[in-house]
Amino acid sequence: MMKIALLYGTETGNSEILCDDMKDKLEADYECSIVSLGDATPSELDPKAFHIFVTSTYGNGDLPAGAATFYDTLTDEKPDLAGIRFAIFGLGDMVFDYTFAQGSEKLMTALKQCNATMVGERGIYDASSSDMPEDIGLPWLDGIMPHIMLEDA
Ligand SMILES: Cc1cc2nc3c(=O)[nH]c(=O)nc-3n(C[C@H](O)[C@H](O)[C@H](O)COP(=O)(O)O)c2cc1C
């Protein structure tokens, strides 16, 4: 069974709950794990797993505080993540205008600069909309899964 590692960055839990919802959807077909970016290290990402990053945005378009060390390790140490495949989904709030969902954008850019391979488009959820994160996140997941299969075959 192929492994899927769900990694979240959160301040108030929404990104973690969305990872739980994604896991519920995936776990019949994949071996899923969920870990906080606060407990993850770039060099310990598993090349055999497909990675799904889910993170919100805080401060001035930054990652949540708990994910800062993971991000700083990517940008400061530039570990070689060739062979690591990932997709990324960001939570944000349009009220914040020009910093909207920039935490996930920064993480995406840093992962790519470390040679990780991105699959699909970055998904984005706007907390000022009337949708729940899973209303946007689960259809996004449906959209990327076929690409994971194709590249895995
Ligand atoms: C103090 C504060 C600052 C925030 N700053 C931003 C921001 O700069 N850009 C953005 O898109 N969203 C911002 N948000 C919105 C959160 O990213 C959004 O509510 C998200 O759904 C929270 O997810 P979480 O519970 O996983 O942390 C901010 C929210 C708070 C409370």
The predicted structure's pLDDT at residue 150: 55
* E strand segments, 2-127: 3-9, 31-36, 49-55, 85-92, 117-118, 123-126
Q: Which atom of ligand 1 lies closest to the CA of 92?
A: 11
48 CA distance to ligand 1 middle (Å): 32
Q: Burial code of 83-120, b = ≥16 C-beta within 10 A, e = fewer?
A: ebbbbbbbbbbeebeebbbbbbbbbbebbeebebebbb
76 CA distance to ligand 1 middle (Å): 25
User: Strand, coil or helix: what is 60?
Assistant: coil
Nearest residue to 23 via CA among 150, 146, 147, 137:
137
The predicted structure's pLDDT at residue 64: 98
Q: Which atom of ligand 1 lies closest to the CA of 101?
A: 11
Alpha helices in 33-92 (DSSP H): 68-77
The predicted structure's pLDDT at residue 148: 86
Taking only Cα atoms into account, the Rg of the chain, rounded to an integer number of angstroms, comes to 14
Helix (H) or strand (E) holding 19: helix 14-26
Write out the chain's pLDDT in tens, 153 residues: 899 999 999 999 999 999 999 999 999 999 999 999 999 999 999 999 999 999 999 999 999 999 999 999 999 999 999 999 999 999 999 999 999 999 999 999 999 999 999 999 999 999 999 999 999 999 999 999 998 865 543
> Domains in the chain, please, with CATH?
3-152 (3.40.50.360)
Angle, CA 111 vertex, CA 51 and CA 85 arms, to 5°:
35
User: Strand, coil or helix: what is 77?
Assistant: helix
Ligand 1: lining residues by beta carbon, under 6 Å: 10-15, 56-58, 61, 64, 91-93, 96, 99-101, 127
The predicted structure's pLDDT at residue 153: 39
Alpha helices in 50-101 (DSSP H): 68-77
Q: Which atom of ligand 1 lies closest to the CA of 16?
A: 26
Angle, CA 123 vertex, CA 30 and CA 3 arms, to 5°:
15
Task: Among 6, 12, 34, 93, name the best residue to mutate to test ligand 1's pocket (greatest count of ligand atoms within 8 A of Cβ).
Answer: 93
Is 0.75 topped by the overall pTM? yes
Task: Among 19, 37, 91, name the best residue to mutate to test ligand 1's pocket (greatest count of ligand atoms within 8 A of Cβ).
Answer: 91
The predicted structure's pLDDT at residue 1: 86
Spatial contact of 70 and 106, defined as CB atoms under 8 Å apart: no
